Amino acid sequence: MDADADPQSTNRRKPRRRPAWLVLAALAAGTLALTSCQPPSPSPPPVSSSPPAGPAAAGDIATGLAAPWSMVPLADGTFLVSERDSGRILEVGADGTKRTVGEVAGVVHQGEGGLLGLALHVGSCPSQEPLDPNNPCFDVYAYLTTADDNRVVRMPLLGESGNRGLGPATAIITGIPKAGNHNGGRIAFGPEGLLYTGTGDAGNGNNAQNPASLGGKILRTTRDGGIPSGNPFPNSPVWSLGHRNVQGIAWDAQGRMWASEFGQNTWDELNQIRAGNNYGWPVVEGMGSDSRFTNPVLQWPTSEASPSGIAIAGTTLYMAALRRERPGPKQSWWASWADCAMWHQRRKAACLS
C-alpha cells in the first residue's frame, strides 16, 4: 500500500502510516459491481435506508509484519509476503506463523521505495533442489527500489513448504525511475501469460507523458523482459501511459484489465486499461474533457480512501484502501447502482459495462 507521502512537499497529501498487520482480502476493501447495466437515471427509484449486506468481517491472519506491501498465495494455503523496508520475503501460514524465505539483494528503502510487488510464474529450478510437492517449481518476480533505479527481478523459489528459499536474482526490467515517492510497484501476469508492471512518475509528472521514460506507465513484457508482439508502441514495453502512481492491477472474466491509481490532491482513480491509451497525468487528474486522454471509470476524493491493490472475484472488484490508522473503525465502501446516491456518500458504485 503506497502512502504517497512527500514530507518535503506542500502540495501532496500528508503521510499516512502503513499498518503493520496482514488481514483477509476484505480488509478496507471497496467492492465494485462488474456487471453489464445502464447508468442510473437522474431520479433512481426509492430503496431501503438500510445498508446492503457487505463482505464478511475481516480478521487478522498475521501480526508484527514490517511494512507488508504485497502477497501472493500458494496452493498449500500459505502466502509469500514482501516487507518493503527490510527487503525480506516471508512465508506466512494460515495460522499466522512466519518465516523468512529470503532477503532480496540490492533493496534500498527510502520513503515509499523498497521491496514492493511480488508475482509468481511457473519456472524451472535446479534439479538438485527439492521441490514443493503442492506446487510446480515457481519463479518469484519482485519489484524493488535499488540505489540507482526501480527494477523487476526474477528468483527461483526453492524447497518445500516450511523450508522455502530463494535462488539467485536475474534482472528482468531495469531503468524505471525512482524517488522517495511515486514508485509504483505492482506486478502481475495477465491472462496471456505476459508480465505487467505498474510504475510511478517518480515525482516528475513529465515522465508520465514521455514515451521514452518507463515512469508513469504500465509496462507489458515477456517473462524474460522482452517486448512481445502486440505492444502498441514499436520496440517499447509501454502498454499505457499518463499514469501518476499505479497501485493495483487485475483482470475480469472477460479479459478486461483494471488498475487503481493514486491521485494528488483531488481525485483517486479506477481505470479500465486499454493498449496505447493515455490516462492524462499530469495534464488531467480524474475526469476531464480533453479527448486525447482516457477518463477513469470511477473517481473519488483523495481524502476519502487511498487505493492500493485490487482483486476481482466473479463480477466484483475488491480494492484495498487505507482510510485511517488503527485503532479505529476500518472503512470499506461498496454498493450497487440502486444504493449509490441513496444511502451513504462514502459508499461508491460502478456499473462497468
Tell me, what CATH number does 165's domain have? 2.120.10.30
The pLDDT of residue 29 is 41
pLDDT score at 18: 40
Residue 325 has pLDDT above 60, yes or no: no
pLDDT for 327 equals 41
The answer on pLDDT for 326 being more than 70 is no
With cell 499466522, the residue in question is 96
Q: What percent of the chain has pLDDT over 70?
A: 71
Residue 338, pLDDT > 70, answer no
* Section 140-154 average pLDDT: 98
User: What per-residue confidence (pLDDT) applies to 128?
Assistant: 54
Work out the mean pLDDT of the chain and round it to a whole number: 80
The residue-averaged pLDDT of 305-309 equals: 90
Which range, of 35-39, 233-237, 269-273, 308-312, averages the lowest pLDDT? 35-39
Q: CA 243 to CA 237: how far, in whole Å?
A: 15
Average pLDDT (2-14) is: 42
Is residue 218 a part of any domain in this protein?
Answer: yes
User: What are the residues whose beta carbons fall under 8 Å from the beta carbon of 343, sequence distance 6 or more?
Assistant: 47, 49, 51, 52, 335
Q: Which residues contact 228 (CB under 8 A, 6 or more apart)?
A: 194, 220, 221, 222
Note whether residue 39 is domain-resident: no
Q: Which residues pair with 299 in a beta bridge?
A: 269
Between 32-46, 239-253, 264-278, the lowest mean confidence (pLDDT) is in 32-46
Q: Residues 194, 306, 40, 289: what is their CA dihedral angle, to the nearest 10 degrees?
A: -80
Question: Does residue 32 lie within any of the structural domains?
Answer: no
What pLDDT sits at residue 25? 38
C-alpha cell of residue 335: 454498493
Taking only the tens place, the pLDDT of each residue in 223-250 is 999 999 999 999 999 999 999 999 999 9
Whether the per-residue pLDDT at 339 is higher than 90: the answer is no
Alpha-carbon distance 225 to 227, whole Å? Answer: 7
- Confirm whether 98 is domain-assigned: yes
- Give the residue numbers spanning the domain of 213: 63-322
* Residue 353 within any structural domain of the chain: no
pTM of the model: 0.81
Place of cell 488498475: 259
Total count of domains within the chain: 1
Q: What is the pLDDT of residue 122?
A: 86
- Read off the pLDDT of each residue in 66-86 and give the average, rounded to a whole number: 94
Residue 49 within any structural domain of the chain: no
Region 93-112: mean pLDDT is 96
26 pLDDT higher than 60: no
Please state the φ and ψ torsions of residue 156, each to the nearest 5 degrees. Answer: -65, 140
Strand partners, 187: 197
